[in-house]
């Protein structure tokens, strides 16, 4: 092997793998859907049919999940997920800014992507709006003043550490839960154990979501269910005070995107598209207002 061939081979190995594009349908403003941990693009099965009549809807499987590749030796850091999302979006050759929607871990991925790709002097940011669905916001307990909120967040982080340290327990219990849900919505198995455990440790437990949201210069909407068990009470306080963030609480919905939350999410996306078309004269909804379908 010549030095040139060896160099090309090293560069090829470093190239982020492209994600599986599970859905690309409809015409209009582009909306890219990014699911969360232990799931797949099936997460958005209630959303796509509502968006496709007015938008081009693209749904991907994140690195290590669904039908996307699981590279050998990957640490599944947030940077790994973002690099593959970036490479995949570049491959689509989109001409106009798009809305990025992330669910659960997908919220962390799309926020970091938007933070890294925000406007530079020479070009406009490719992201026009970020929508976060059920974001698992966990600030470091040492940074939380309220002792009850600090105790609750600490409990969540201990639970995640337990799940990572007890593989057989986690897989067996996940199998029971997954049988009650549509295929692809929730899966933790031998096949995706490494992506699950490492994404949990390196992304969700060691997150920078709050600072990434704070750095954005585009509107951010947060949509979450009042029964979402993955959102620690009090954990949303910091981001809901940010001026560019609007909060949308959906009654009687848990962490999954069920029909009620799907309608609310589509309402938020449509309202954002209308605002961008009409310009600054359109009034943005105030924090914590319900949205259509909620």
Q: Does 12 map to a domain?
A: no
Q: Does 4 map to a domain?
A: no
Label residue 94 exposed, middle or buried (CB < 10 Å: 0-12, 13-18, 19+): middle
Task: Report the chain's C-alpha Rg in angstroms.
Answer: 19
| Predicted pLDDT at 8 | 47
Q: Across all residues in the chain, what is the average pLDDT? A: 89
Q: Does 290 map to a domain?
A: no
Number of Cβ atoms within 10 Å of the Cβ of 70: 14
Number of Cβ atoms within 10 Å of the Cβ of 226: 12
Q: What is the pTM of this model?
A: 0.89
| Predicted pLDDT at 54 | 96
d(CA 56, CA 28): 5
Q: Does 33 map to a domain?
A: yes
What is the number of domains present in the chain? 1
Q: Does 7 map to a domain?
A: no
Is the separation of the CB atoms in 17 and 71 below 8 Å?
yes
| Residue-number span of the structural domain to which 125 is assigned | 18-278
Is the separation of the CB atoms in 225 and 261 below 8 Å?
yes
Q: Does 289 map to a domain?
A: no
The stretch 90-112 carries a mean pLDDT of 97
pLDDT, tens digit, 9 for 90 and up, residues 137-192: 998 877 777 788 888 888 999 999 999 999 999 999 999 999 999 889 999 999 99
Is the separation of the CB atoms in 41 and 60 below 8 Å?
yes
The stretch 262-273 carries a mean pLDDT of 94
Q: Does 3 map to a domain?
A: no
- At 4, the pLDDT band (50, 70, 90 cuts) reads low
Q: Is the pLDDT of residue 294 over 50?
A: no
| Predicted pLDDT at 238 | 87
CATH number at residue 236: 3.40.50.1820
Q: Does 145 map to a domain?
A: yes
| Predicted pLDDT at 293 | 45
């Amino acid at each position: 092997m010549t030095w040139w061939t060896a160099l090309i081979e090293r560069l090829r190995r470093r190239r982020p793998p492209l994600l599986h594009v599970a859905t690309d349908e409809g015409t209009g403003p582009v909306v890219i859907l990014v699911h969360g941990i232990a799931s797949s693009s099936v997460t958005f099965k209630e959303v796509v049919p509502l968006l496709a009549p007015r938008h081009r809807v693209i749904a991907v499987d994140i690195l290590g999940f669904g039908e996307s590749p699981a590279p050998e030796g990957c640490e599944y850091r947030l940077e790994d997920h973002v690099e593959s999302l970036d490479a995949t979006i570049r491959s689509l050759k989109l001409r106009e800014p798009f809305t990025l929607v992330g669910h659960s871990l997908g919220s962390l991925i799309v926020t970091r992507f938007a933070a890294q790709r925000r406007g530079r002097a020479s070009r406009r940011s490719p992201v026009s709006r970020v929508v976060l669905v059920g974001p698992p916001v966990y600030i470091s307990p040492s940074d939380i003043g309220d002792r009850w909120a600090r105790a609750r967040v600490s409990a969540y982080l201990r639970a995640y550490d337990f799940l990572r340290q007890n593989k057989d327990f986690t897989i067996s219990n996940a199998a029971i839960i997954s049988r009650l849900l549509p295929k692809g919505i929730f899966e933790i198995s031998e096949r995706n154990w490494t992506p699950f455990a490492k994404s949990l440790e390196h992304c969700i437990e060691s997150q920078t979501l709050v600072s990434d949201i704070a750095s954005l210069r585009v509107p951010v909407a947060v949509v979450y269910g009042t029964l979402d068990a993955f959102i620690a009470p009090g954990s949303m306080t910091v981001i809901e005070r940010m001026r560019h963030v609007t909060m949308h609480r959906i009654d009687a919905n848990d962490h999954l995107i069920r029909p009620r939350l799907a309608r609310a999410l589509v309402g938020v996306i449509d309202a954002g598209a209308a605002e961008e078309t009409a310009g600054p004269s359109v009034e943005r909804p105030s924090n914590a207002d319900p949205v259509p379908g909620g």
